[in-house]
Amino acid sequence: MNTPRHQLRPSAPHHGEPLSLFEARWRDQVHAWLRDLGATEIEAARLTPLTLERALSRPEDLAGGKVQGVLKRAALDLFSAGLVQAALTGDSHATHRLLDAWQKEILRWCRWQCPRAMNHEDIAQDVMVAVLSRLHALREPERFRAWVWGITWRSVQARKRKAWFWRWVPGDLERRDSGGMDPDDAYASSERARAVQQVLDLMSPDHRQLLWLSYVEGQTRREMVALLGIPEGTLNRRLTAARRAFEQVARKHGLDTESDPPTSEVLHD
């Protein structure tokens, strides 16, 4: 009888087991992960025991089959720490190594957060560009993971907000979203688009203005704040109200999205 695959993997320290045995069971795997991240043999040899030490400093985190995830995150964070410091001094080689190391993690985050209709690889590329362009402004290098997560989250939510409006208009979302079709052309090219325009015409001027600027013009929140002269928090609240109002008027007049209704995550970002 074959042993189940999950039983072949190392596990958390067993009750009463010397920590040295746990380290021995995971040492080779952690070393391999570090090498996959781009660490040299010397770097991997130095960081492997540090990774195990960090994980074992909070043994409660290793319960419930979480060992692999805890160790992988610790390995990535420790490998990144030195690269972040070097990148902040202008070391371009360290910057590229840092981005290479984080590419899979960013791609995984985007894939997890994106609806199937959205191209998570395109968004991950946007995140990588944002990290590269904003790295010089990082104030707390020790919070690099949280900083990258924030950029990823905001990038996905921005794409969802853009996608929300265009779900009411027919056509290939991926082609529109990737630049294959000009948004103005997509908007003007169909009967359904004219129905959307009729719904917009029935809305209050303030709501119509916000939806047009955000979804048709594609302006960023920063641009809209500057244009309208209102605080960002006020803008966010008004946009949420405008989206709800649009949905109510659209459905009242028999217009519905081509696919599933917008999720609460998009409506309450």
Tens-digit pLDDT profile for residues 22-34: 788 899 999 999 9
Domain residue extents for the chain: 9-89, 96-159, 167-267
Determine the pLDDT at residue 9: 45
CA–CA separation, 29 and 15 (whole Å):
22
pLDDT tens digits along 132-144: 999 999 999 999 9
H helices present in the chain, as ranges: 19-36, 41-56, 67-88, 92-113, 120-134, 144-166, 173-177, 183-188, 191-202, 205-211, 221-228, 232-252, 264-267
Assign a CATH topology to domain 167-267.
Arc Repressor Mutant, subunit A (1.10.10)
Residue 199 clears pLDDT 50, i.e. is over it: yes
Q: Which token pair is 2?
A: 């074959």
Euclidean distance between the first and the last CA atom of the chain, given in angstroms as a whole number: 51
Residue 49 has, within 13 A of its CA and on its CB side, a CA count of 4
CA–CA separation, 266 and 269 (whole Å):
5
Query: What angle, 0 to 180 degrees and rounded to 10, lies between the N-to-C axes of helices 120-134 and 92-113?
Result: 140
Highest-confidence segment of 59-63, 235-239, 249-253: 235-239
Determine the pLDDT at residue 173: 40
- Backbone φ/ψ region at 16: left (φ over 0), alpha (ψ -120 to 50), beta: left
Q: What percent of the chain has pLDDT over 70?
A: 72
Burial of 125 by CB count in 10 Å (0-12 exposed, 13-18 middle, 19+ buried)? middle
Q: Is the pTM of this model over 0.85?
A: no
pLDDT tens digits along 161-196: 776 666 665 544 444 444 455 555 555 455 666 777
Instruction: Give the least confident one: 5-14, 164-173, 220-229.
Output: 5-14
Q: Which token pair is 105?
A: 């993690």
Average pLDDT for 143-161: 87
Determine the pLDDT at residue 25: 87
CA–CA separation, 240 and 25 (whole Å):
51
Residue 13 clears pLDDT 90, i.e. is over it: no
pLDDT tens digits along 200-221: 878 888 888 888 788 766 677 8
Determine the pLDDT at residue 259: 40
At 241, is the pLDDT very low, low, confident or very high (cuts 50, 70, 90)?
Answer: very high
For the beta carbon of residue 219, count every other beta carbon within 10 angstroms. 16
Determine the pLDDT at residue 184: 57
Determine the pLDDT at residue 164: 66
Taking a C-beta distance cutoff of 8 angstroms, is the pair 177, 167 a contact? no
| CB contact set of 106 (below 8 Å; sequence gap of 6+) | 124, 127, 128, 131, 148, 152
Instruction: Give the least confident one: 84-93, 107-116, 192-201, 224-233.
Output: 192-201
For the beta carbon of residue 88, count every other beta carbon within 10 angstroms. 15
Determine the pLDDT at residue 238: 94
pLDDT tens digits along 16-70: 455 577 788 899 999 999 999 999 999 999 999 999 998 888 777 676 667 888 8
At 123, is the pLDDT very low, low, confident or very high (cuts 50, 70, 90)?
Answer: very high
Q: How many residues does the chain have?
A: 269
